Structure 1
Amino acid sequence: MKRILAILVLAGAALAALPFIFADRAPRPYQGWVEADTLFIGTETTGRLTGINVAEGQAIEAGTPLFRLDSLSEEAAVAAARASLARSRAELDLAQASQKRPEEIDVLRASEREATARLELAEQDLDRTRVLVERGTATRANLDTATATEAANRAALDNVRSQIVLAALPARDETLRQAEESVAAAEADLASAQAAQARRSVSAPAAGSVETIYYRSGEVVPAGRPIVALLPPENVRIRFFVPETEIAGLSPGQPLRVTCDACRPSDAKISFIAKNAEYTPPEIYSLEERAKLVYRVEAVPADPKSLRPGQPVDVLPGPRR
């Protein structure tokens, strides 16, 4: 009887120990936390903040205006650059146009008609003088005078015509090239001034949530200081550390199951596994003593909006692909 009781006690103890045995064999999740790469958006130059267009916690799209700085100096620079460009273009138009005004060219054309009439008269007088010389009623001196008069009138007509051609020509090549370069320089100055003015208003480079606003309207912001902290969902990561003895069971692209306090379980995929080992950092969320040598692993959550940066999570690996 005692032997039977002893057997029954041992069997009961074995049955009671079964849950603990299988519990030790069940896979244990890794402890980690949610990490995020926040975008700190500021300005390249110092200025007074004149407006904030977003609020902390607001979800925004890419291209949403975030803030603006005073731009009186930049607006004045743009206006001055536009005026300089207009002046340079006017100088180029003047260099490309004829050297004389239309009214002056009309006067030259009238002189051309007058010179043409005088030349025709001189040619007729020269012809009559030649006939008279042949008949003997005019002297050789009369013929020389008529010839010289005809030559002088022809030269005068050629001179007027040359002036008309010259008046219709543009400026010299060097003057034209200088005017064109002045226009190009003025256009570059205007583009630079407009770019400086555009930088006084900053828009969101990506969609995300506004985490922190560091300055308020009316404050002077130093150059390079962040004004708005923006968190894009794609910048949310899950970071955890795996002991050296278990790292071989993980691979990039492997699915994970992520759980945390007061949140619904979600999925993730391993995106990074460190090649070098390191010691367990103090930030790790550990419930028991672990191996000191671990590997850093990062994963991309399927639903990053449901997670909060710094939140502790439990990560359970799924089957390898």
Structure 2
Amino acid sequence: MKYFSLTLFVSLLLTGCPESREKPLQGQVEFDEIDLASRLSSRVKEVKVELGDRVSADQVLVILDDDLIAIRNERAQATLEQASLQKKMTDDATRKEELSQLAAAEAMARSQWDFARQSLKRAGILFEKDAIARQQWEEIIAKEKGARAQYEMAKARWEAGRNGARDEQKAIAAANLVQAETGLAEVSAYHKDLQLSAAAEGTVHAIHARPGELVPQGFPLVTLLDQKHPRLSFYVTEDRLALFRQGETYTAVIPALQDMALKVELVRIQVLPAVLTQVVTEDRAARDIRSFELTFKPLDAAVPLQPGMSAVLVPGERK
């Protein structure tokens, strides 16, 4: 690794290089933070790590109390039993009381239709002899049709009752059973969350709760720092953006590491919100200058970078 004075490095770039060289940029080292949170509200039972600990993937960091899970499990079990009984009742045949009512309604409708047919037959004979008016004859025909429709409807209901519950009722009962089974499975999944494990390798950066504290759902209990993937962030106005090209390699200096020179690759150029970063030019009517964030990835993973370390980068110094 190459070491040299930061003052000398910057002086050479500013005085010994062409005037077209730009002044160095000031930036900092950053890391991604990973918050470890619970999917349920519970009380912290044990915190198994301390600040600065290096943890591996799937390592248990926090253990939560299981009182609420036990209550939810009992409720889910009761709901499942109720849904199972409801589905069994629906799948069974219609109750005897309901069948009796449907049978009586079918018999009454059949009787009324029989009477309407007999009336239609007698009225037909009288109409052929011109003994009744056409209007009266047509009314008797309409009544017979109505009685027949009522009988067919009552018969269909009675047959459906003999065959058991309607398809819609069976579908509803089946859906309720699936919902109850899903609820029980959800509680089982929550039970796994009583032991919160690291999603990836990292360093314990912050601990937000201690044993005995009650934490709400989604509250971050531990924050991990992903030190395996550092990045350097710099900010430039768009009038200097042409000095950088994504994918190319540059040299950055880390003052905290004795002015260590570090090769970095430009991996992202992202515009910043205009309301926060616009710079008003002299010619206001022409345009305002936007600002951009430049993200660089160190090419040497062995460098002991820490979050917040300052960094210096000179535009145009490509490697």
The alignment's TM-score, normalised by the length of structure 1, stands at 0.54
Deviation of 1:66 (Å): 2.7
Partner of 1:228: 222
Deviation of 1:187 (Å): 0.5
Letter in 2 for 1:24: G
Are positions 1:32 and 2:21 aligned together?
Answer: no
Change in CA separation of 1:83 and 1:262 when aligned onto 2, cut-off 3 Å = same
- Distance in 2, Cα, partners of 1:298 & 1:22: 23
1:155-211 Cα deviation digits (max 9, x unpaired): xxxxxxxxxxxxxxx983548656534432321221232234334433333332211
Equivalent in 261, 278, 300 of residue 297 of structure 2? 300
Q: Is the Cα–Cα contact under 8 Å of residues 236 and 304 in structure 1 kept in the other structure?
A: no
The percent of aligned pairs where both chains have the same amino acid is 24
Change in CA separation of 1:232 and 1:252 when aligned onto 2, cut-off 3 Å = same
- Distance in 1, Cα, partners of 2:85 & 2:290: 75
Partner of 1:48: 43
- Distance in 1, Cα, partners of 2:180 & 2:253: 61
- Distance in 1, Cα, partners of 2:175 & 2:235: 62
For 1:158-307, list aligned pairs within 5 A: 172-174=164-166, 180-233=174-227, 236-242=230-236, 246-263=240-257, 264-275=260-271, 278=277, 295-302=292-299, 303=301, 306-307=304-305
- Distance in 1, Cα, partners of 2:296 & 2:194: 37
Q: Is the Cα–Cα contact under 8 Å of residues 87 and 174 in structure 2 kept in the other structure?
A: yes
Partner of 1:313: 311
Deviation of 1:70 (Å): 1.4
Deviation of 1:50 (Å): 0.6
Q: Is the Cα–Cα contact under 8 Å of residues 92 and 165 in structure 2 kept in the other structure?
A: no
Deviation of 1:94 (Å): 8.4
SS in 1 for 2:222: strand
- Distance in 2, Cα, partners of 1:178 & 1:273: 54
1:125-158 Cα deviation digits (max 9, x unpaired): xxxxxxxxxxxxxxxxxxxxxxxxxxxxxxxxxx
Deviation of 1:51 (Å): 1.6
SS in 2 for 1:310: coil
- Distance in 2, Cα, partners of 1:181 & 1:67: 37
Change in CA separation of 1:296 and 1:184 when aligned onto 2, cut-off 3 Å = closer
Q: Is the Cα–Cα contact under 8 Å of residues 251 and 320 in structure 1 kept in the other structure?
A: no
The structure where strand makes up a greater share of residues is 2
Are positions 1:59 and 2:54 aligned together?
Answer: yes
- Distance in 1, Cα, partners of 2:216 & 2:79: 31
Q: Is the Cα–Cα contact under 8 Å of residues 96 and 171 in structure 1 kept in the other structure?
A: no
For 1:12-27, list aligned pairs within 5 A: 23-25=15-17
**Unpaired stretches in structure 1, ≥5 consecutive residues:** 1-18, 100-169, 281-291
SS in 2 for 1:38: strand
1:84-139 Cα deviation digits (max 9, x unpaired): 5356557767887999xxxxxxxxxxxxxxxxxxxxxxxxxxxxxxxxxxxxxxxx
Change in CA separation of 1:297 and 1:186 when aligned onto 2, cut-off 3 Å = closer
- Distance in 2, Cα, partners of 1:194 & 1:21: 63
**Unpaired stretches in structure 2, ≥5 consecutive residues:** 1-10, 95-161, 280-288
1:238-292 Cα deviation digits (max 9, x unpaired): 1123466543121111112233135354332112234469479xxxxxxxxxxx9
Q: Is the Cα–Cα contact under 8 Å of residues 82 and 190 in structure 1 kept in the other structure?
A: yes
- Distance in 1, Cα, partners of 2:223 & 2:81: 42
Structure with larger Rg: 1
Letter in 2 for 1:270: L
Letter in 2 for 1:68: I
- Distance in 1, Cα, partners of 2:239 & 2:175: 70
What is the aligned residue count?
A: 222
1:56-77 Cα deviation digits (max 9, x unpaired): 2223333333323212121232
Are positions 1:74 and 2:72 aligned together?
Answer: no
- Distance in 2, Cα, partners of 1:293 & 1:189: 51
Change in CA separation of 1:317 and 1:223 when aligned onto 2, cut-off 3 Å = same
Change in CA separation of 1:304 and 1:216 when aligned onto 2, cut-off 3 Å = farther
